[in-house]
Amino acid sequence: MSGRVLAIGLLIFAAVFGAALWWFQTRAYYDAVEGVTEVEIAGVAVPVEDWRGIDAGTSPLKLRACFRVTGELPAGAPGGDAEAATPLVAPDWFDCFDAPEIAEGLADGRFVPVLAARNAPWGFDRFVAYDPQTRRGWMWRQLNRCGQSKFDGDPLPEGCDAPPEG
């Protein structure tokens, strides 16, 4: 009888631990970002509507946003480095940000990649992908080459500013 109790106790512990692990990995550290009416792209505020966004204080890589562009993109902003713009997967519950679809649209030229801000914060670039047909847009941060070198413990590549202290 005691073996059965031990087995049931282990199964309950595993189920509770698994549920807690899942929750912490997919839900716990994300905060909704609400009330955004403009997105800064290359130093210019671009009006947007239908904003949905998430972010977290635990990592700059958790930023994801979906919106509809209502204003004009700044002159010279469209284009950017299509190979550098690589959307990161969002949690499945944040369903407006479909990273594979965005990546496919960037690869086949349907969506325009824009480097919205470099080193925001240091080591991370903020990108926007924009669909000129539907005016939908998506925003995310990704590690840049300076940040990648720093976090790998390698010397900074030429052209990288020193990271901030702290």
Q: Is residue 143 part of a domain?
A: yes
Task: Round to whole Å and give the CA distance between 136 and 133.
Answer: 8
* Domains held by the chain: number: 1
Q: Please write the tens of the pLDDT for every residue from 65-89.
A: 999 999 887 765 555 555 688 999 9
Cis peptide preceding 121, ω within 30 of 0: yes
Beta-bridge partners for 142: 125
- Domain region containing 134: 31-151
The single residue listed with the structure tokens 């190979």 is 83
Q: Does residue 56 carry a pLDDT above 80?
A: yes
The single residue listed with the structure tokens 């997919």 is 26
Q: Is residue 15 part of a domain?
A: no
Q: Is residue 120 part of a domain?
A: yes
Tokens of 154: 């390698």
Q: Is residue 85 part of a domain?
A: yes
Between the two ends of the chain, the Cα-to-Cα distance in Å is 56
Contacts of 21 (CB under 8 A, 6+ apart): none
- Mean pLDDT throughout 94-108? 95
- Mean pLDDT throughout 104-131? 91
Contact between residue 52 and residue 66 where contact means Cβ atoms under 8 Å apart: yes
Tokens of 143: 């590690």
Contact between residue 37 and residue 45 where contact means Cβ atoms under 8 Å apart: no
Q: Is residue 1 part of a domain?
A: no
Q: Please write the tens of the pLDDT for every residue from 25-49.
A: 877 888 999 999 999 988 899 999 9
Task: Round to whole Å and give the CA distance between 80 and 71.
Answer: 19
Give residue 164's pLDDT band: very low, low, confident or very high (50, 70, 90).
confident
Q: Is residue 156 part of a domain?
A: no
Q: Is residue 88 part of a domain?
A: yes
Beta-bridge partners for 125: 142
Q: Is residue 99 part of a domain?
A: yes
Closest CA to 156 of 144, 166, 165: 144
Q: Does residue 1 carry a pLDDT above 70?
A: no
Residue type, 147: G
